[in-house]
Chains A and B, each alone.
Chain A
Amino acid sequence: MSSDVALQLLTPDGTLVRNDRTSEYLPLIEALDEKRLGDFYRQMAVIRRFDVEAGNLQRQGQLALWIPSIGQEASQVGSGYAAQPQDHIFPAYREHVVGRIRGLDPMRIIEMLRGLSHGGWVPSETGNFHLYTLVIGSQSLHATGYAMGIALDKLNGNASGAADPKQGAAVLVYFGDGASSQGDVSEAFTFAASYQTPQVFFLQNNQWAISVPVERQSRTPLYLRGEGFGIPSIQIDGNDVLASYAATSAALAAARGGQGPRLIEALTYRMGAHTSSDDPTKYRENEQVAYWAARDPIARYETYLRAQGVGDDFFAEVATEAEDLAADVRTRTLALQDPPSTKIFAHVYSEPHPLMDAEAAWLAAYEESLDESVAAE
């Protein structure tokens, strides 16, 4: 699981790595102001507390399912902050903090996993953070098509009418080690390379596809897959938020600059279960869990910040913010109402459809008849 080739800017003990290779990336970190460096920590710590609260809500019967992201915060926060406002982000289903960075209210994720919606947020209102996709790897093709559209806008004179074509935009798509075995992901690589799309494939290799280890998905390091398709690829230490930010920034800049797609394989670890329905003690060893616990992305970055002179006040403030969010999420979850039954038929089609009208009318009459029979008793 450790790798000699993975780009690392911050060692597990929180020391900045300065060598020939990192010299290309360190200026991207040095350009960040103190606030943004603090935001990296803030987002990682707050989302972990949110993750714990949501897991508790699931155990208490308030959610049908929870999908924890604990352990993957550095991969997600670094790459999420690397995206520019005009970029479009296609998540898998575990990138809660990327959504939060882009402006998504985490309650939308809660609502989805409580069974109130299938997502339903509007990407133009959530910083171009698109909906979660549960069929593994399917979103890779949507992302590639979107990136083809950005490229075609330029060639066809912005035929799509999309905003700010001259500003340049790129697409960032998340998927995992398991998804890398899906045909859709290989087809996305093929189309992206063929049409030289402005996009970055961000592969979070969290070592496990539910119970199947990454060794079963691939005999080669996954970043080499990209090279085989003609996509320049890099492997990074995914528990290093600075490496994630710098590598993704560089890759997105290349994509925006017309250099075609890039692939980043971020080596990380799903410290918790796949979902609340999973039991990882059935398939993985304590030794491995301990190995990765010693590489916790948040602890590493806290050590670095403290060495930079960030004091207790900051960490106390973030802890308070995390507790406040957790309490707020709990309060708002307990207040959620079930949707009306008319939601079943809404937006199946964009234009009128006789079957929808007929079935909605039937259900309304049926429900009314039930109300009447109750009233009669």
Chain B
Amino acid sequence: MIEQLTMAKAINLGLQKALADDPRVLMMGEDIGTLGGVFRVTEGLKAEFGEDRVLDTPLAESAIVGTAIGLAMRGYRPVCEIQFDGFIYPGFDQITSQLAKLTYRHEGALQFPVVIRVPYGGHIGAVEHHQESPEAYFAHTPGLRVVSPATPQDGYWMIQQAIASNDPVMFFEPKSRYWQKGEVDREVAPGEFQASRVVRAGTDVTLVGHGAMVSALLQAADIAADEGTSAEVIDLRSLSPIDYGPILASVQKTGRIVVAQEAPGAVSVGSEIAATVAERAFYSLEAPVLRVSGFDTPFPPAKLEGVYLPDADRILEAVDRALAY
């Protein structure tokens, strides 16, 4: 059955399913219980599963992650919510020095199936620390898996796959897409958890991105088609590991690739893709790999976010440059 759901609702239903399916699954975070989270992604879960499954925690990100680690040692599968992207740094040490390394430190004897949910990205007009894209820090950290759904369908299924993973998963939710509806089929078997996916076929240029940027890439591809350029769009879905198969296959066909992201471009996921495509598809390239990114500045005051964040026009400007070679 196909339903039209927002991504927020789709993730909510995925969390509900995970709680119902496995008594070891716990939710924990700030305001996630009675309020249902500041984005209402956990709405109704405390009422249904109780305060011992859906924990409104004290306001301390390091402790949310650090105690989730201890709960995982006890056999639980905690799902932590970090309220906003820019509030993840107080928990950064527990994520990168502890959660990411504990299976290695234990030489595989213990597993740490902890999911960290992070609403991230701009386009919501919010104050400082509420619109950032910190995913590269975590994609750089061995021991973590990093994913970001772009659609309600992926929101519903990928959150369940993340919870089922025996490795720690950073689950970046593109908050500007929370309220957009899309098709969700809760019965069809999900695709591979960390596979990238061609979401629009094309022949002239490959466009790659994740999260909210996938919508901008599809919009750019529509405009490009009107101008006679056929763009292939790939939704990364996973940032660590990155599934390069569809990306390299596409570049071998198009010879041109533009990678777009909201995050600052320096030492970013886009940088990594550029380097890897250059290493592994050098003879297929007709143009340098181009990146379209947020600028290498702090996220600006919200009235400037439309300038700061890549949109279809900036993606098309890069497409034009790639085609000019």
Contact = CB atoms under 8 A, between A and B. Distances in A.
Interface of A: 117-120, 122-124, 130-131, 133, 135, 138, 140-150, 152-153, 155-157, 159-162, 183-184, 187-188, 190-191, 194, 346-351, 353-355
Q: Max chain B CB contacts within 10 Å: which of A123, A184, A347? A: A347
Given A135-B93, A145-B71, A149-B76, A156 B53 contact: yes
Contacts of B143: 348-349
A4 B146 CA distance: 54
A150 B97 contact: no
Contacts of A353: 241
A160 B74 contact: yes
Interface stretch (B104-112, B215-223, B259-267, B300-308): B104-112
Contacts of B167: 349-351
Contacts of A346: 107-108
A135 B105 CA distance: 13
Given A144-B63, A347-B104, 19 more contacts: A122-B106, A138-B93, A140-B66, A141-B62, A145-B69, A145-B72, A146-B71, A149-B74, A152-B26, A159-B75, A159-B76, A162-B75, A183-B62, A184-B93, A187-B60, A191-B60, A347-B106, A350-B111, A355-B241
A147 B106 contact: no
B94 interface: yes
B67 A120 contact: no
B93 A347 contact: no
B4 interface: no
A161 B68 contact: no
B142 interface: yes
Contact of A141 (B24, B94, B243): B94
Interface in B61-101: 62-63, 65-76, 90, 93-94, 97-98, 101
Contacts of A138: 66, 93-94, 97-98
Contact of B70 (A149, A190, A349): A149
Contacts of A191: 57-58, 60, 63, 67
Contact of B107 (A117, A130, A147, A162): A117
A135 B97 CA distance: 8
Q: Max chain B CB contacts within 10 Å: which of A146, A153, A187? A: A187
Contacts of A141: 62-63, 65-67, 69-70, 94
B103 interface: yes
A150 B52 CA distance: 12
Contacts of A117: 107
B23 interface: yes
B169 to A, nearest CB: 11
B180 interface: no
Contacts of A145: 66-74
Contact of A349 (B23, B69, B103): B103
23 contacts: A118-B101, A122-B110, A124-B109, A135-B97, A145-B69, A145-B71, A147-B70, A148-B70, A149-B76, A155-B52, A156-B23, A159-B24, A160-B24, A161-B24, A161-B75, A183-B90, A187-B62, A190-B58, A191-B60, A191-B67, A348-B143, A350-B111, A351-B166
A190 B60 CA distance: 9
A38 to B, nearest CB: 34
Contacts of B75: 149, 159-162
Interface size on B, as a range, is 35 or more
Contacts of A122: 106, 109-110
A144 B55 CA distance: 15
A141 B69 CA distance: 8
B66 A350 contact: no
A350 B103 contact: yes
Contacts of B176: none
Contacts of B241: 353-355
B165 interface: yes
Contacts of B166: 350-351
Nearest to A145: B70
Contacts of A124: 109
Nearest to B66: A141
Contacts of A148: 67, 70-71
A162 B105 CA distance: 22
Nearest to A146: B70
A183 B62 CA distance: 9
A94 to B, nearest CB: 17
A375 B164 CA distance: 48
A18 B310 CA distance: 76
Q: Max chain B CB contacts within 10 Å: which of A123, A124, A143, A160? A: A160
A135 B101 CA distance: 12
A286 B94 CA distance: 39
A123 to B, nearest CB: 8
Given A119-B106, A161-B24, A150 B63 contact: no
A348 B105 CA distance: 9
Interface in B5-29: 23-24, 26
B162 to A, nearest CB: 12
A211 B243 CA distance: 49
A133 B57 CA distance: 24
A152 B52 contact: yes
B243 to A, nearest CB: 8
Contact of B58 (A120, A153, A194, A350): A194
For the complex of A and B, list the 9 residue pairs with the smallest distance between their C-beta atoms, beginning with the closest.
A145-B70, A141-B66, A149-B74, A160-B75, A145-B67, A347-B108, A187-B63, A146-B70, A159-B23
B52 A143 contact: no
A120 B111 contact: no
A194 B68 CA distance: 15
Contact of A153 (B60, B74, B101): B74
A184 B24 contact: no
A308 B108 CA distance: 48
